[in-house]
Structure 1
Amino acid sequence: MCLSIPSQVVEVDEKSCSVTVDTMGVKREVSTHLMTEPLSIDDYVLIHIGFVMDKIDKADAELSLAQYQELVVKLNTEE
């Protein structure tokens, strides 16, 4: 099973078919070779093994990110 955290596109490099994304404060470059539609800065995407798999709705992404953040806070307070 794969758990994908929504990531926000912060840079687009069409020449290398890649984007830089921010995943809860961690930035990394991922491939867009499997995408059929173009991506833009501020789009939200789901990633699997270094490839963008899907573009997702901003409202859904923000809701998921808020829920992940709640989990992180809860786990950090239980220690």
Structure 2
Amino acid sequence: MCLAIPMRVIAVDASGLSATCEAKGQQRQVGLIMLDEVVRIGDYLMISLGQAMQKISVEDAKQTWAYYEEILNFSPSH
């Protein structure tokens, strides 16, 4: 199973086919070919396997990171 990661666009190349995105202090080059809408600096995208899957709101990005942090901090009680 693959999880998509919410990332913020910090640069878009001149062709519009890729962007530099940032999340949690990490930057990645991301393909935009699967999107059917224009991507701008400041947009949030869901990224999976180096490709943008969809544009999302800042609220959805924050909520997704909150879920991931909850999962990562999970400690089962035995």
TM-score with structure 1 length normalisation?
0.78
What is the CA–CA distance in structure 2 between the aligned matches of 1:45 and 1:31, rounded to whole Å? 11
Q: For structure 2, list consecutive stretches of 5 or more residues without a partner in the other structure.
A: none
Query: Which runs of structure 1 show a deviation greater than 3 angstroms over 4 or more consecutive aligned residues?
Result: 66-72
How much does 1:71 deviate? 5.1
* Number of residues of Structure 1 aligned to a counterpart in Structure 2: 74
Q: Per-residue deviation at 1:67?
A: 3.8
Partner of 1:36: helix, strand, or coil?
coil
State how far apart, in whole Å, the 1-side matches of 2:68 and 2:24 are.
9
Query: Structure 2 CA distance, aligned partners of 1:20 and 1:59?
Result: 20
Residue 51 of structure 2 corresponds to which residue in structure 1? 51
| Identical pairs, percent | 36
What RMSD over aligned residues (CA atoms) do the two structures have, in Å? 1.8
Query: For residues 53 and 22 of structure 1, do their structure 2 counterparts lie closer, same or farther at Cα, with a shift above 3 Å needed?
Result: same
TM-score normalized by the length of structure 2:
0.78
